[in-house]
Amino acid sequence: MSGSVSALLQVSDLKVHFARPKAGWFQPHEVVRAVDGVSFEIGRGKTLAIVGESGSGKTTTALAVMRLAPITSGSVRLGTTDLGTLEGEALRLARKRLQIIFQDPFSSLNPRQRAGDAVRAPLDLMNSGQPAERAARVDELFAAVGLRPEQQRLFPHQFSGGQRQRINIARALATNPELVVCDEPVSALDVAIRAQILNLLVRLQREFGLTYLFISHDMAVVEHICDEIAVMYLGQIVERAPRRAFFAHPLHPYSVSLMSAVPTVAGGRARAARRIRLVGDPPSPISPPPGCRFAGRCPVAIAQCSEALPPLVEVAPGHAVRCIRVEVKGGVPQAPLALPEAAAVV
């Protein structure tokens, strides 16, 4: 992957492997390949969504970018700063530039800490500005996320789930970060509240020039917030494309199966009948197969798919896919597995 001058975050061949305890004295360590060679970049002010089912490695990728998970190899660069080489005080100071919004708005807040103090905590830890300036900053953040000033004195249990997530968003923005990692920020919320939080994130991105790395398993959610999408399967990116190109014409069979599962209100029963249903479970991340890691569940796999791991190949401008079954005819890439008509997302 060639680095772009306008890219804020550049991740190159990132690997995160975890060694499991030995099963016996003379047994070798088993290694879980949670993230196994992931590369991507995000332009300033843009949103990249990483999607995939549970266990695909998307959250581990986000935690590695935040330096909250150990990096086995590869590089993570924020602008001109190599985050993977920072330690101690240098890493602590660099955290001003990147923050994270966690999935659970309940457990990510200290139940004994008032909301205003939670939002102010990053300012105190980073020693940003004078005390009066910090108080004014907290007021500004509460207003920005749609909370009233008097709510600063309330405790987390006095807020709804959506309001707690607004507090988490305000806390993440306290240090004026350039990059915000959103780790499934709406998956724990009611459906009626999700749209409000997504619209808030879009508005804040526009107002503050934020860059988002958005982690989700919900294709319908990322369609409304991302500029580019990357699909992960068993620790690797299997497809990466601009939003419009991906949702109009997904190429990898795994991407197509994910798209077929997106719920809709219209034609629910007809759509469910045409849904692509995958058989079996993903392979073990301890000993992944030598070929395509999706081959064992792929409806259109052939013998060659299990022989060697296919590379991530750009088949159209900005659109890359890891599948030997994808062919380019007349300059147009052809998906080996068709998306059911009733499952198409408009």
pLDDT digits (tens, 9 = 90+) for 184-208: 999 888 888 999 999 999 999 999 9
User: What 3-state DSSP class applies to 323?
Assistant: coil
The model's pTM: 0.90
Q: Which pair of tokens denotes residue 161? A: 């789930």
Question: In this predicted structure, what is the pLDDT of residue 164?
Answer: 95
Is residue 2 pLDDT above 60, yes or no? no
Residues in Cβ contact with 69 at an 8 Å cutoff, skipping those fewer than 6 apart: 16, 60, 63
Q: Decide if 291 contacts 285 (C-beta within 8 A).
A: no
Residues in Cβ contact with 158 at an 8 Å cutoff, skipping those fewer than 6 apart: none
Question: In this predicted structure, what is the pLDDT of residue 132?
Answer: 86
How much of the chain exceeds pLDDT 90, in percent? 74
Q: Which pair of tokens denotes residue 52? A: 């995939």
Angle between helices 161-173 and 115-125 (to 10 degrees): 20
Query: What is the per-residue DSSP string for 110-161?
Result: -TTS-HHHHHHHHHHHTT-S-HHHHHHHHHHHHHHTT--GGGGGS-GGGS-H
